[in-house]
Amino acid sequence: MFGFGRKDGGGAPEVKASATGRLAAMGSAGRAVWSSRDTGTLTRMGFTGNPVGFRAVKLIAEAAASVPLTCADHEGRLDMHPVLGLLSRPNGAQGRGEFLEAMFGQFLLTGNAYVEAVGPDGLPLELHVLRSDRMAVVPGSDGWPVAYDYTVGGRVHRFRVGETSPICHVRAFHPQDDHYGLSPLQAAANAIDVHNSASRWSKGLLDNAARPSGAIVNSGEGLTQEQFDTLASEMEAQHQGARNAGRPMLLDGGLDWKPMGFSPSDMEFQKTKEAAAREIAMAFGVPPMMLGIPGDATYANYVEANRAFYRLTVLPLVAKVCEGLAYWLGEHAGESLTLSADRDRIPALQAERDAEWSRIASATFLTDAEKRRMLGLPPAEDA
């Protein structure tokens, strides 16, 4: 009868062992380990667990929410309109700033922003920002959304799309997805992992009294497994951590302590962390100078960086979100509306607007009506 193993009555089994089995080495794996790229993990690692991502999102969302908005129809700018009244108090629990900050924040964190309309037909009575990680698009046979599923605690509520959709979905550009937008967090995910890993490395170094480790060299006979376990437990209990900093080490039996200095790669950790922080800021479009990241000399001063921040990041975001929101509210109200940023009331752009006003006002070949239209002002009322 054939079986596995040696035959009965045979000699000693062949011993197969690696030639390096007696050596113990400390090293890292050859393959990088990255965090998951799902929305929940990205938000937890890149926003709630990363100071650079948190500050970048808060800075953009708060700046965009504070931008004054103007409402206009086909005839020009409107000083008063029900849409402006609705946005001033979207619901009973949120004001204009809190509502818009939540909407811009969801857009930055997930690449998608969802707003629910509450009320009968016509202009909604209330607006509510829904969490993007709980929303799922239900596409129809033609690819366009026919419904939106909102999942909370295992229960699903379906918003069906009729002549007017109860959900306003504003999404960022995504080259590989037809229904969802691409978040800056996804583009900066690798930099976020590097930054978080560098922070954990620094914390581990501080826990070990801010000094590198070392090696115990045995010049005598080999240690038994019991001796090795005892030595390892004593090292962990008596000589690791900040509370054991400076404690003398007593060694016997031919044991000797060899401290290890910092390698050049260890000394570059801080620079690596700063480089990762700059990549995170770049993905969100925030000048590193505004986040306190050292080594940035792109802009002459903070004023120039702040002006570029509004012109290149905040205003395009406000324009994109307001365009989708205005079209959706216009469908509910039964009229064509536009929402846009009032650049004359943004302090960071005041110098540019003053120059534009002076340039247009000094153009003698333009009529007053043309000048007002170029400046975005409503037509002058007849006397």
pLDDT in tens, 263-280: 555 556 678 888 899 999
Mean pLDDT of 349-353: 74
Assess if residue 273 is contained within a domain: no
For residue 343, is pLDDT > 70? yes
Assess if residue 13 is contained within a domain: no
Q: What pLDDT is stored for residue 117 in this prediction?
A: 94
Residues with Cβ within 8 Å of 259's Cβ and at least 6 positions away in sequence, in order, are 212, 214
What residue numbers bound the domain in which 248 lies? Answer: 213-260
Same domain, 337 and 360: no
Assess if residue 72 is contained within a domain: yes
Same domain, 72 and 125: yes
pTM of the model: 0.74
Q: What does each C-alpha distance from 142 to 146, 159, 167 come to in angstroms?
A: 10, 18, 19
Same domain, 237 and 125: no
Exposure string (b/e) for 295-330, b if CB count within 10 Å is 16 or more?
ebeebeeeeebbbbbbeebbbebbebbbebbbebbb
What backbone phi and psi angles, to 5 degrees, belong to 120? -70, -170
Least confident span in 111-120, 148-157, 284-293: 284-293
Q: What pLDDT is stored for residue 30 in this prediction?
A: 47
- The span from the CA of 319 to the CA of 341, in Å, is 7
Same domain, 305 and 220: no
Same domain, 305 and 330: yes
Can you spell out the DSSP letters for 31-70?
A: S------SHHHHHIIIIIT-HHHHHHHHHHHHHHHTS-EE
Tokens of 132: 């993007």
Residues with Cβ within 8 Å of 132's Cβ and at least 6 positions away in sequence, in order, are 39, 106, 109, 110, 111, 112, 113, 114
Assess if residue 206 is contained within a domain: no
pLDDT band of residue 252 (cuts 50, 70, 90) is low
Residue that finishes a domain, picked among 260, 290, 318: 260
Q: What pLDDT is stored for residue 155 in this prediction?
A: 94
Q: Check residue 263 and report its DSSP letter.
A: P
Q: What pLDDT is stored for residue 76 in this prediction?
A: 78
Supply the mean pLDDT for the chain.
80
Mean pLDDT of 316-334: 94
Assess if residue 12 is contained within a domain: no
Q: What pLDDT is stored for residue 23 in this prediction?
A: 40
Same domain, 131 and 158: yes
- The span from the CA of 56 to the CA of 146, in Å, is 34
Q: Among 36-40, 69-73, 300-304, which range has the highest average pLDDT?
A: 69-73
- The span from the CA of 296 to the CA of 292, in Å, is 9
Same domain, 142 and 244: no
Same domain, 330 and 225: no
Q: What pLDDT is stored for residue 63 in this prediction?
A: 95
Same domain, 221 and 309: no
Assess if residue 320 is contained within a domain: yes
Exposure string (b/e) for 228-237, b if CB count within 10 Å is 16 or more?
eeebeeeeee
* CA geometry: angle 348, 357, 339, nearest 5 deg: 65
Q: Which of 107, 128, 157 is nearest to 321 (CA)?
A: 107
Same domain, 223 and 361: no
Same domain, 332 and 361: no
Amino acid at 38: D
Q: What pLDDT is stored for residue 248 in this prediction?
A: 61
Number of other CB atoms surrounding residue 153 within 10 Å:
6
Same domain, 77 and 149: yes
For residue 207, is pLDDT > 90? no
Residues with Cβ within 8 Å of 328's Cβ and at least 6 positions away in sequence, in order, are 115, 117, 165, 168
Assess if residue 245 is contained within a domain: yes
Q: Say how many domains are in the chain.
A: 3
Least confident span in 21-30, 163-172, 230-239, 299-308: 21-30
At 221, which helix (H) or strand (E)?
none
Assess if residue 265 is contained within a domain: no
For residue 221, is pLDDT > 90? no
